[in-house]
Chain A
Amino acid sequence: MSSAAFARPSIESEWVLPSRGRVGMLSLIAAEAAIFTIFVVAYIFYIGKSLSGPMPKDVLELPIFNTVCLLSSSLTIHLAVRALRNAKVRAFGLWWFVTIALGAIFLVGTAREWQRLIFEKGLTISTNLFGTTYYSLVGLHAFHVTVGLIALAIGMIFTFLGKVKPEHSERAEIFSLYWHFVDAVWVIVFTVVYVVGR
């Protein structure tokens, strides 16, 4: 604990506390991070322990395009928030839309990958331990992308209705924390599943 926490403020000076939205979102992210940690640990623990095929090196391909799309959506949402803070609502709507598009492309990419794995390679969640851990971890992440997309879409609807004002920039920023988190998780999932696990 810093000594500043115990310093006596003069009561007359302005009483400033952290934003509750930001603290709440960061707490939620901590909880989500703990959930993902358990899934990642399970994935790493079961690497190479499948009793039957198909194995990761036989069926997995690096999803480079997907990854580029998702990671760049972090940049676009940041630009959207900055635009809103500077009262440029049109620019905000544009960047917000690009973020949705990039997130949607990522989801479509995951869906195509799953389709290929299930129907061409015969890998399902019950095939072997690789299937179990792969679909759970990637699926949990994709679920979080989906939740983020729903929230983004709601924000988009409000933008079309003209309800979004510069004073909402803090809310947009708090949501962007979640989106950045989902992107950061993808970096770990990518490393564990497609680099280390292959």
Chain B
Amino acid sequence: MATKSIALTGVDRDTRPISEKLHDWVVTVDHKKLGILYILYALLFLVIGGIEATIIRIQLVVPHNHFVSPQVFNRMFTMHGTTMIFFVFMPMLFGFGTYLIPLMIGARDMAFPRLNAFSFWMTAFGGLLLYFSFIGGNGLYGAGNAPDVGWFAYAPLTSRAFSPGHSTDFWTLGLLVSGFGSIGTAVNFIATILCMRCPGMTLGKMPLLAWLNLVMAGMVILAVSPLTAAQIMLSIDRYLGAHFFDSQAGGSAVLWMHFFWIFGHPEVYILVIPAFAFVSEIIPVFSRKPIFGYPVMVAATVCIGFVSFSVWAHHMFTVGMTSYANSFFTITTMVVGVPTGIKIFNWIGTMWGGKIQFRAPMLFCVGFLFQFLTAGLTGIMLSASPFNWQLSNSYFVVAHFHYVLVGAILFTIFGAFYYWFPKITGRMYNETLAKWHFWLFLIGFHLTFDFMHIPGILGMPRRIYTYEPGRGWEIWNLIVTIGVIFQIAGVLVFVFNLLRSLVNGESAGADPWDAWTLEWSTSSPPPEYNFAKIPVVKSRRPLWDIKHPEDPDWKYE
């Protein structure tokens, strides 16, 4: 293993001037560098989005607080939502996919390396465009004006009359530009996974991460495109005076809702399916067992992909639809819970009877299992339209979707960081610090988002900038904000751990987890060409076959 670190020290001895090294990163088409760029970019925006969330929570910690003005509060929740969805989770998951997919399917790069670079820079410029609104929003005469229309930007709030200046245009263009990047990445993922697999890797032998990202990419193509179309319409409305969403001229505000949520709901699954992918790789390795029910996992994922396109109007129960529409979307929403439940069953089935090692990646995945189940249960509650009429637009909904986004997706992202950090950097992280990160973040998460359900049930609407005392909301808001402190502490430990391990970490070797997929067969970090010789695989666990020639997997699959 020690010899494997030679490649790493070779990189360290790169004596070129810093400008040339940076130039390398800007013009690179290597999927590993682009993957790292995606991840770093997403981490930067995670901090920015986190600061915005903290501002929201400080404002709400006590009634009648004056920490920020109502106008700033509106900008904060709009920017927080938009940033976290489009500029944290999407690039983070694309980054891991870009880095890992070619390595896991035994390829030397993506199908279209230049498209890969193009997609990253589109996403990056989309984020810059959105944040430029802080200084350029009012048209450069000094007063900044970020978007304040909420992350789903319902009409007519986005019309010229209610959103003067350019803030909404920055929002629209930022999402449009990054949307082109997302579609490019999705095209690339599909072409890579279908056309670049190493010999022997049939679709049925692909790692689940590749399968799940294939489904995710297909969903991006079908879901992000409607958002792109809707953003084009909104731009035409605002710049050319068209009437798509202008009810004064016969246009329909509800049409925007439909178009947005046709994107918006599949988007949740676009984010959670790569999270499932991480879990499906991490749990088997730390349970020392192959994944339980591989074909069922694939089928359940494809099933989720299909069903998630017919549930969007459950975001619109309170708008007033026909009873048939309400029933339809209630039923489809409940149906999507079935394949999801199958997946949870299979992950637990994988752990059952295994020699479980509770290293940091596994801890985050176990946290994910419990929290994702809870999030799914509140989801089933909200899918019943009469219940939804009571709690829609309350903090109960906010707590529900943060349970998915933080409790499920962010937890698995942290797990993925620890799991693949040795591969990406060649260094081992510090396990003690990682466990501190896990427990601090777990406590913070549960303080914040468990107790956030209660003011929602008590009737506290989302997006209010302050509230009256005496409604029984004070104590819950206080606890929710206290949880933020623990989460910030956890993230600080995480960042410190990454930076410290990057410099001082022990050399990890090619395969620190005794894992089974192809990325662990090459050195850490992998050379630019990934594999000196393109591997040939015969089973779903090619490294198991190599390590156990007396009892290879392909005899049983």
Chain A residues with CB under 8 Å of chain B are 1, 5-9, 11, 15, 17-20, 23-24, 27-28, 30-32, 34-39, 42, 45-46, 49-51, 125-126, 128-129, 131-133, 135-136, 140
Q: Looking at the complex, which of B222-230, B389-397, B426-434, B523-531 is the stretch in contact with chain A?
A: B222-230
Interface string of B460-487 (1 = CB under 8 A from A): 0000000000000000000000000000
**Contact assessment for B538 and A132 in the assembled complex, using a CB-CB cutoff below 8 Å:** no
Q: Check: B259 CB closer than 8 A to any chain A CB.
A: yes
* Interface check B386, CB cutoff 8 A: no
Q: Are A5 and B538 in contact (CB under 8 A)?
A: no
Q: Which of A9, A23, A128 contacts B190 (CB 8 A)?
A: A23
CB pair B183–A45 under 8 Å, yes or no, is no
Shortest Cβ distance from residue A33 to the other chain B in the assembled complex, whole angstroms? 8
**Inter-chain contact B111/A35, CB cutoff 8 Å:** no
Q: Are A42 and B255 in contact, with the CB atoms below 8 A? A: yes
* Contact, CB under 8 Å: A31 / B241: no
Complex CA–CA separation, A15 to B194 (angstroms) = 13
Whether B503 sits at the interface, judged by CB under 8 Å, is no
Q: In the assembled complex, which residues on chain A have CB atoms less than 8 Å from the CB atom of B111? A: 20, 23-24
Out of B112, B255, B536, which one reaches A45, CB within 8 Å? B255
21 contacts between A and B (CB under 8 A): A5-B204, A8-B554, A11-B200, A15-B200, A20-B111, A20-B191, A23-B111, A23-B195, A31-B221, A31-B222, A31-B225, A34-B225, A35-B229, A37-B226, A38-B226, A38-B230, A42-B233, A42-B259, A125-B240, A128-B243, A136-B242
Q: Which 4 A-B pairs have the closest CB atoms?
A: A126-B241, A34-B225, A38-B229, A6-B204
Q: Of residues 145 to 200 in B, which have CB atoms within 8 Å of A's CB atoms? A: 183, 186-188, 190-192, 194-197, 199-200
Residues of chain A within 8 A (CB-CB) of B242 are: 125-126, 131-132, 135-136
* Count of A-B contacts judged by CB separation below 8 Å: 131
- Chain A residues with CB under 8 Å of B249's CB are 51, 128-129
Please, how many angstroms separate the alpha-carbon atoms of A34 and B266 in the complex? 14
* Chain A residue with Cβ nearest B539: A8
- Contact indicator A27/B187 (Cβ below 8 Å): yes
Asked whether B250 lies within 8 Å of A17 as measured between CB atoms, the reply is: no
- Flag if B298 contacts A1 (CB, 8 Å): yes
Give A135's nearest chain B residue, CB to CB.
B242
14 new A-B contacts, CB < 8 A, other than A6-B204, A19-B195, A28-B187, are A20-B112, A20-B192, A23-B111, A24-B187, A27-B187, A27-B221, A35-B232, A38-B225, A42-B259, A125-B242, A126-B241, A129-B249, A132-B243, A136-B242
Are A35 and B202 within 8 A (Cβ)? no
B250 and A50 contact, CB distance less than 8 A: yes
B residues in contact with A15, CB < 8 Å: 199-200
Q: Considering the complex, which residues of chain B in the window 219-275 have a beta carbon less than 8 Å from any beta carbon of chain A?
A: 221-226, 228-230, 232-233, 236, 240-244, 249-252, 255, 259, 262
A51 to B195, CA, bound (A): 52
Interface residues contributed by chain B, number (CB under 8 Å): 52
B 505-557 contacts with A by CB, 8 A: 536, 538, 554, 557
B200 close to A9 (CB less than 8 A): yes
Give the Cβ gap from A167 to chain B, nearest Cβ, in Å: 19
B203 at the interface (CB under 8 A from A): yes
Nearest chain A CB to B373 CB, angstrom units: 27
A24 to chain B, nearest CB (A): 4
CB-defined contacts of B244 to chain A, threshold 8 Å: 42, 132-133, 136
Could you tell me the distance between the alpha carbons of A66 and B211 in the complex, rounded to whole angstroms?
A: 44
Q: Which residues on the A side are within 8 Å of B255 (C-beta)?
A: 42, 45
Contact of A129 among B115, B204, B240, B243 (CB under 8 A): B243
Cβ 8 A contact of B187, one of A8, A18, A31 = A31
The chain A residue sitting closest to B259, CB to CB, is A38
Q: How far is the CB of A123 from chain B (nearest CB, A)?
A: 12
In Å, the complex CA distance between A79 and B132 comes to: 50
Pick the contact of A35 from B191, B200, B226 — CB < 8 Å?
B226
A8 contact set on B, CB distance < 8 A = 202, 554, 557
Are B236 and A125 in contact (CB-based, < 8 A)?
Answer: yes
List B contacts of A1 (CB < 8 A): 203, 298-299, 302
**Docked complex Cα distance between A46 and B233 (Å):** 14
Q: Which residues of A contact B115 (CB under 8 A)?
A: 24
Q: A27-B191, A34-B221, A35-B229 are in contact. Are A17 and B200 (CB under 8 A)?
A: no
Give the residues in chain A near B197, CB-CB below 8 Å. Answer: 17
Which residue on chain A has the smallest CB distance to residue B243?
A132
A100 to B302, alpha carbons, bound, how many Å? 41
Contact status of A5 and B203, CB under 8 A, knowing A34-B226, A129-B249, A132-B242: yes
Q: Which residues of B contact A37 (CB under 8 A)?
A: 226, 229
Q: Given A6-B204, A11-B200, A128-B243, verify A18-B252 contact (CB < 8 Å).
A: no
**A30 and B195 in contact (CB under 8 A), knowing A1-B298, A38-B230?**
no
Residue of A whose beta carbon sits closest to that of B225: A34
Q: Is the CB of B229 within 8 A of A6?
A: no
CB-nearest residue of chain A to B236: A136
- Per the 8 Å Cβ criterion, residues 9-33 of B in contact with A are none
Q: Are A32 and B112 in contact (CB under 8 A)?
A: no
Partner of A31, one of B183, B188, B194: B183
- Residues in B whose Cβ lies below 8 Å from that of A6: 202-204, 295
